[in-house]
Amino acid sequence: MSTRQSILVVDDVLDNLRLLSGILADKNYMVRPVPDGVLAISAAQAEPPDLILLDIMMPEMSGYEVCEQLKTDERTRDIPVIFLSAKNEVMDKVKAFSLGAVDYITKPFQAEEVVARVETHLTLRNLQRRLTEQNHIMSETLQQLKATQDQLIHQEKMAALGQLIAGIAHEINTPLGAIRASISNISNALDTSLQELPQLFQQLSPERQADFFALLQTALGTTEHLSSREARKKRRALKETLEAHGITQAHTLANTLVNMGIYRDISLFLPLLREENTVSIVQTAYHLFMQQNNSRNILNAVDRASKIVFALKNYAHYDHSGQKLKADVIEGIDVVLTLYHNQLKKGITVTKNYEDVPFIAGYPDELKQVWTNLIDNAIHAMNGQGELEISVQIEGGHPPKPSHDGEREMPSYIVVRITDFGHGIPEDIRERVFEPFFTTKSAGEGSGLGLDIVCKIIDRHQGKIEVESQPGKTTFSVFLAIET
């Protein structure tokens, strides 16, 4: 590729063409002389020159027309055009510029003038090209940066999740344990019942059979759940009551009855309890009751496991659309709390103060990352032991007074406050906590990007974040705009 710049010279007068070619060739430009407009246009389209010197007064097609054509074609639009003409009226010059020319030289011209202007415009054109190129590079780089940022945010999120997985696995194992045990219990109880029942009904009188069913009904109807401590108390009390009524094997009976939720008015069942084989009667009832109880356990365990799986799916979800969705702030916080339940259980009491708040337009996945970062930091600040308070309220939005027409409502916000009672943030670093890559955690423990990402996410929700801290108490307040 030639490093010489090429200039297309257009003039119907051959002497002029020769003169200009000579002047420009002397300055080491590559000159392409052309005697008319039509040829000029096709030459420019075929091999776009770096600059065009254009005579105006030409037969068949004037310089103005040539210029107009050049400016409509993409290939030639950006080539600088300098008009050369004997016409010297202001209107002629104005017309030239209005057609897109960059300069106007009147004939007769001085060689030095032509050269100076040509050089100037070529330089300008080069600078322009470089600028366009650089803009293009910047724009590509910006795209890459944005993509990287998105990736970083996603990685942060997955890293946080990775930390939680061990605890979450345990959380799921517990309901699974309950389910497995319950099913084997039901199976055993059913086998036992199938053997016990026929014998039982042969032995019991019709009245006692009725009592048996009454006992069973009462047991199946209980919904109250006793803690182990309460159950122990009730067992003792019932044992004493039974002994007072002269019933033998009071200990075993009391245990079984309390396990069935029967400990209140037992006078109805005294006849049954005085039967000779009362222990096996009551245990038969218990085996039947157990099946329903274990079924209930299974349902509860399944609910519990589902809740955890839901929280996981919800958290790991990555919305690619970039569109704002309806965000339920409270649900998002609760999902994060569910995932952190295992860590919190090890020594942190959580207090929730939720007001009724509306949905907002936002990015639910990103908001969960905000809660994750803030809750994780809070746990870290307390070394895993202490109290965590989370409140969700509406603030702002005072309605305009009646006397002021046209006064707009103050914007209202959902305010989420996360408070920990940990070591606090020293005043000298309080400003820095939101800085990217700033972290007080030891190397490898934290990327330092958490709060920076939190800020960016909150920006995208037209919100703000504030922190108040003293040793022993730190509160992060997140304001999310409620758009009406």
Partner 1 sequence: MSKKAILCVDDESTILTSLGDQLQSHFGDRYVYEFAESADEALEVIEELNKDGLEILVIVSDWLMPGMKGDEFLIQVHQQYPTIVTVMLTGQANEEAIERVRREANLHHCLYKPWREEELIETLISRLQ
Note the residues at the interface with partner 1 (CB under 8 A).
Answer: 166-167, 169-171, 173-174, 176-182, 184-185, 188-189, 192, 225, 227-229, 231-232, 251-252, 255, 259, 290, 293-294, 297, 300-301, 342, 345-347
Classify strands 51-55 and 6-10 as parallel, antiparallel or unpaired.
parallel
Supply the minimum distance, in Å, between the C-beta of residue 475 and partner 1: 25
CA distances from 38 to 42, 117, 273, 414 (A): 7, 25, 120, 69
- Distance in angstroms (rounded) separating the CA atoms of residues 191 and 361: 57
The residues, any chain, with a CB within 8 Å of residue 261's CB and separated by 6 or more, are 218, 219, 222, 224, 226
The whole-angstrom separation of Cα 329 and Cα 251 is 52
- CB of residue 256 to partner 1, shortest distance in Å: 9
Burial (CB < 10 A; 0-12, 13-18, 19+), residue 266, is: buried
CB 337 within 8 A of CB 350: yes
CB of residue 306 to partner 1, shortest distance in Å? 15
**Residue 430: half-sphere exposure toward Cβ, Cα within 13 Å:** 16
Residue number with CB closer to partner 1 (64 or 289): 289
Give me the least distance between CB of 442 and partner 1, in Å please: 20
Q: In this complex, which beta carbon is closest to partner 1, that of residue 3 or of residue 228?
A: 228
For residue 202, the minimal CB distance to partner 1 (Å) is: 23
Minimal distance, residue 212 CB to partner 1, in Å: 20
Q: Which residues of 33-67 are buried (b: 16+ CB within 10 A; e: fewer)?
A: bbbbbeebbebbeeebbbbbbbbbebeebbbbbbb
**CB of 62 or CB of 192, closer to partner 1:** 192
Choose between 252 and 475: whose C-beta lies nearer to partner 1.
252
| Identity of the amino acid at 292 | Q
Question: Closest distance between partner 1 and the C-beta of residue 180, in Å?
Answer: 4
Task: Please identify, using beta-carbon distances, which residue of 225 and 401 lies nearer to partner 1.
Answer: 225
Q: How many CB atoms lie within 10 A of CB 254?
A: 24
Of 21 and 259, which CB lies nearer to partner 1 in the complex structure? Answer: 259
How far is Cα 140 from Cα 115, in angstroms, rounded to an integer?
A: 38
Residue 125 near residue 51, CB atoms below 8 Å: yes
Residue 2 is classified by DSSP as: -
Nearest distance from residue 229's CB to partner 1, in Å?
6
Is residue 290 within 8 A of residue 186, CB to CB? The reply is yes
Kindly tell me which of 173 and 199 has the beta carbon lying closer to partner 1: 173
Nearer to partner 1, 173 or 217 (CB): 173
Closer of 81 and 260 to partner 1 (Cβ): 260
Min dist CB 224 to partner 1, Å, is 12
3-state secondary structure of 129: helix
